[in-house]
A and B are shown apart, each in its own frame.
Chain A
């Protein structure tokens, strides 16, 4: 999750105060990891420095929270570019697991057991997400689905690798 771009995207809806931005971020994207206030203001300061937002006049009542942030044309372009570019299509888990499996085979360790452990952890998470999705509002259900499909893809890779361990062992120990 890119915090600067997400905050910028929220600002494209309407100019906003730091506090409201944080509240919206947490409600939609933060979930179990709310955004610290410090990070909100430091991110907004950087966006202002880079010309992506401008800071309005402090409103009566003052305090750091009384400033309104407004997105610039350059900021809108940045959001647009981000939204239209595909996300790096490489799940990092697979490469970590891949390294573990290859190393295990090189060291004569039980790669299949490691894969089983990973499979069990994946299935446990899938059960949690399935249960969440059953009771959740649409936004949360879609997030849970995203997680489920990714975990499923990992599991397919785990199954495929498990089925090819013998051949893979021969290759890495050649």
Chain B
């Protein structure tokens, strides 16, 4: 899990995930205001399956809001969000919940582990919420401890972990359900730079090995440098920095 695996195998796995071709995420002209304050003013972005995309931008630029819209946590006022061909913006709450639970993984700045549960139960949580049998869920969870350098911590409580350990547990929880898309919002924001870089190595290594698409929100260029490509959110609009060499002609603004 720590290596990048065979690129061809990874690609095969990606293709096996469904007949859907084209960008796995395609957001078009997304708009959202909080009260009278516009957060997104026509944000568009397209992401290829298996791609690790860094979403950069200053505080208050709208980058976290964009992540929340793509992940079906927030519903935009206008615009379209297609995920693997599904119109997320048009789904009801139950539909979006199911999508988040079954197909997405999440890692946030502060691990947000459940203090009452053991570490392995925390990791197994997404599977338990899907209705996976407890023994099976815990077995799947334990498989992540070795590759994420957490071996021996299975029965601890989250309060007994260091910041780096807690964030790797959060990463294991984000990956345990083998999500098609991993959403990571400042996943190293609470860590010192050495610890943060290790978390990023493990995050991108594991995601690439699984063929998962990653949306990585960060203001830190050193973290963004782990991605395949980056876009910049400024005043609620997405700017592709590298439009001319985006993958397969998909430019940063989202249209091939």
Contacts and interface: CB of A to CB of B under 8 A. Distances in A.
B9 interface: no
A119 B225 contact: no
Contacts of A127: 225-228
B241 interface: yes
Given A123-B230, A134-B201, A148 B58 contact: no
Contact of B58 (A124, A134, A151, A163): A163
Interface centre among B58, B221, B232, B242 (most CB of A within 10 A): B221
Given A123-B230, A163-B58, A130 B239 contact: no
A129 B226 CA distance: 10
A126 interface: yes
A124 B221 contact: no
A134 B202 CA distance: 11
Contact of B226 (A124, A130, A151, A152): A130
B12 interface: no
A125 to B, nearest CB: 9
A159 B58 contact: yes
Contact of B222 (A116, A119, A152): A152
Given A155-B221, A163-B58, A119 B201 contact: no
Contacts of B207: none
A83 interface: no
Interface in A23-71: none
A129 B232 contact: no
Contacts of B242: 120, 123-124
Given A134-B201, A163-B58, A148 B232 contact: no
Contacts of B228: 127
A150 to B, nearest CB: 11
Interface in A121-138: 122-124, 126-127, 129-130, 134
A143 to B, nearest CB: 15
B28 to A, nearest CB: 22
B221 A126 contact: yes
Interface centre among A120, A126, A127, A151 (most CB of B within 10 A): A120
28 contacts: A116-B232, A116-B239, A116-B241, A119-B232, A120-B242, A122-B221, A123-B221, A123-B224, A123-B230, A123-B241, A123-B242, A124-B242, A126-B222, A126-B224, A126-B225, A127-B225, A127-B226, A127-B228, A129-B225, A130-B222, A130-B225, A130-B226, A134-B201, A148-B225, A151-B221, A152-B221, A159-B58, A163-B58
